[in-house]
Amino acid sequence: MAQRVVLAYSGGLDTSVAVRWMIENYGVEVVTVACNLGQEGDWEGLQAKAFAAGAIEAIVVDCQEEFADEFLAPSLKANALYEGEYLLGTSIARPLIAKRLVEIARKTKADAISHGATGKGNDQVRFELGAYALMPNVKIIAPWREWDLLSREKLMRYADQHGIPVDGAKRKGPPPYSMDANLLHISYEGGILEDPNYAPDDSMWRLTVSPEKAPNKPQVIELTYKHGDVVAIDGVRMSPAKVLTHLNTLGGKHGIGRLDKVENRYVGMKSRGCYETPGGTILLSGHRAIESITLDREVLSLKEDLMPRYARLVYNGYWFSPERELLQGLIDASQATANGKVRLKLYKGTIMCVGRESKTDSLFDTRIATFDDDGGAYNQADAGGFIKLNALRLRIAANLKNERAAKATPARKATSKKKA
């Protein structure tokens, strides 16, 4: 039986009830942990809620720079998109939270961790896989998989019976959807969004204006890359977290980064989510542009082949797995030459690369690529042999096909004469 539990705490109804429920049902002391990943929050108010629910300690940890540098940057270097669209904003945050839970569990001598994820979603998998990878013998308490408080009404009744404070706004009725925010994105799901044919009202989006309402004048920005990371915007050096914050503002202003997606959860069901990722969408476009001139063709092709596998690993919760770390080593090695500058034009929900250069690592050789006289840098006659060698298998197959057709023709003629 656990004696002390560290709970990933959001300050919402679910995790506030979870504090008291674990005290009652497990007889444990509860330490709450809230990670600041760049989302807005009243952190002092959140701590007060935790204490009111019965926590013995309420910890708030600022993880913004670590999140941007050690979790988002590696994923963005991989150009990771789950099912070709989703930039993994929620998925990539969970392993960091799991890491913090384990660190604080060790520090506070807790022997269990807990979270407020439901038994239907991906987050339970991500939290627990991360925790087991870092603390193999840790105990897990997942209230949603145990309690019978399976409706909002039951949770509210439990809170009232146990004196757990609930925001006045939440008493007026359930929110139309749930939200999860961090430096990379805001996600919206559940409620009215559970109908995949329902078009969300424009007022739902928090980070971005509608592309139709974005400025009529485009804006060109310059990103400076060092080993695949953006280190400056328009010549101004910034930390990883500041880069994302700044690009979120610029992208939001121009209506960039909205996504409405039906995705396949790891647990087996389809779900619909809406995502705003303005800064991440800009970073993805810029990163592909710098790679286009600094990475070898086959290296780039290999990265593109591996990207879906990498994205699935992150989405499904295997951040701390040996296979993800192996892939990361390959990806990081490819970024040694991803240095230079990229200019992007932002306009009404779109991003267009209008310039890219690398003074140290560009593989774009204008002497060879030019359509004008190249002064002998490239012998065009060499292309003939190159084409013939690559056509060899096609020619062999075509000759065999023609031989088979020729042998079959006399037999068909003989059959026709007999019938006559």
Check whether residue 101 and residue 160 sit in a common domain: yes
Check whether residue 154 and residue 192 sit in a common domain: no
Residue 303 domain flag: no
The CATH number of the domain holding residue 234 is 3.90.1260.10
Q: What is the pLDDT of residues 259-316, one digit of tens each?
A: 999 999 999 999 999 999 999 999 999 999 999 999 999 999 999 999 999 999 999 9
Q: Which residue in the list 10, 91, 123, 229 is annotated as catalytic?
A: 123
Check whether residue 156 and residue 279 sit in a common domain: no
What percent of the chain lies above the pLDDT cut of 70?
Answer: 96
Q: Is the pLDDT of residue 174 over 90?
A: no
What gap in Å lies between CA 87 and CA 76, rounded to an integer? Answer: 8
Residue 147's pLDDT is: 97
Residue 164's pLDDT is: 92
Check whether residue 142 and residue 250 sit in a common domain: no
What gap in Å lies between CA 230 and CA 202, rounded to an integer? Answer: 31
157 annotated active-site:
no
Residue 418's pLDDT is: 61
Residue 312 domain flag: no
Residue 172's pLDDT is: 66
Q: Which residue in the list 4, 178, 260, 321 is annotated as catalytic?
A: 178
**CA R_g for the chain:** 28
Q: Which residue in the list 94, 100, 126, 356 is annotated as catalytic?
A: 94
- What is the three-class DSSP state of 237? strand
The CATH number of the domain holding residue 168 is 3.40.50.620
Check whether residue 133 and residue 14 sit in a common domain: yes
- What is the three-class DSSP state of 41? coil
Q: Are 280 and 185 in contact (CB under 8 A)?
A: yes
Record the pTM. Answer: 0.94
Q: Which of 296, 336, 90 is nearest to 189 (CA)?
A: 90
* Parallel/antiparallel/unpaired status of strands 139-141 and 112-114: parallel
Residue 170's pLDDT is: 56
Residue 397 domain flag: no
Residue 206's pLDDT is: 96
Check whether residue 256 and residue 343 sit in a common domain: yes
Residue 242 domain flag: yes
Residue 304 domain flag: no
Q: What is the pLDDT of residues 317-333, one digit of tens each?
A: 999 999 999 999 999 99
Q: Is the pLDDT of residue 32 over 80?
A: yes
What gap in Å lies between CA 152 and CA 158, rounded to an integer? Answer: 10
Average pLDDT, the chain: 95
Name, in order, each residue with C-beta under 8 angstroms of 275's C-beta and a sequence gap of 6 or more.
Answer: 86, 87, 89, 185, 186, 187, 188, 257, 258, 259, 261
Determine whether 368 is exposed, middle or buried from the number of CB atoms within 10 Å of its CB (0-12, 13-18, 19+).
exposed
Which residue, of 148, 174, 200, is where some domain finishes? 174
305 annotated active-site:
no
Check whether residue 37 and residue 159 sit in a common domain: yes
**pLDDT, mean of residues 128-142:** 98
Q: Is the pLDDT of residue 414 over 70?
A: no
Residue 403 domain flag: no
Check whether residue 133 and residue 237 sit in a common domain: no
Q: What is the pLDDT of residues 36-91, one digit of tens each?
A: 999 988 999 999 999 999 999 999 999 999 999 999 999 999 999 999 999 999 99
**pLDDT, mean of residues 211-226:** 98
Check whether residue 191 and residue 157 sit in a common domain: no
Q: Is the pLDDT of residue 420 over 70?
A: no
Check whether residue 108 and residue 8 sit in a common domain: yes
Residue 315 domain flag: no
The domain of 63 spans 4-174
Which residue, of 119, 144, 174, is where some domain finishes? 174
**pLDDT, mean of residues 350-375:** 96
94 annotated active-site:
yes
Residue 287's pLDDT is: 98
Q: What is the pLDDT of residues 89-102, one digit of tens each?
A: 999 999 999 999 99
What percent of the chain lies above the pLDDT cut of 90?
Answer: 92
Residue 249's pLDDT is: 98
178 annotated active-site:
yes
Residue 176's pLDDT is: 86
Instruction: Give, in order, the Cα–Cα distances in Å from 210 to each of 213, 249, 276, 349.
Output: 5, 14, 11, 8
Check whether residue 195 and residue 169 sit in a common domain: no
Check whether residue 205 and residue 147 sit in a common domain: no
Amino acid at 388: K
Assign 175 a pLDDT band (cuts: 50, 70, 90).
confident
Residue 234 domain flag: yes
Which residue, of 174, 197, 225, is where some domain finishes? 174
What gap in Å lies between CA 126 and CA 124, rounded to an integer? Answer: 6
Q: What is the pLDDT of residues 222-262, one digit of tens each?
A: 999 999 999 999 999 999 999 999 999 999 999 999 999 99
Number of domains making up the chain: 2
Q: Is the pLDDT of residue 392 over 60?
A: yes
Who wins on pLDDT, 17 or 151? 17
Instruction: Give, in order, the Cα–Cα distances in Å from 63 to each of 36, 41, 57, 170.
Output: 6, 14, 19, 28
Q: Are 113 and 101 in contact (CB under 8 A)?
A: yes
Assign 364 a pLDDT band (cuts: 50, 70, 90).
very high
What gap in Å lies between CA 31 and CA 104, rounded to an integer? Answer: 9
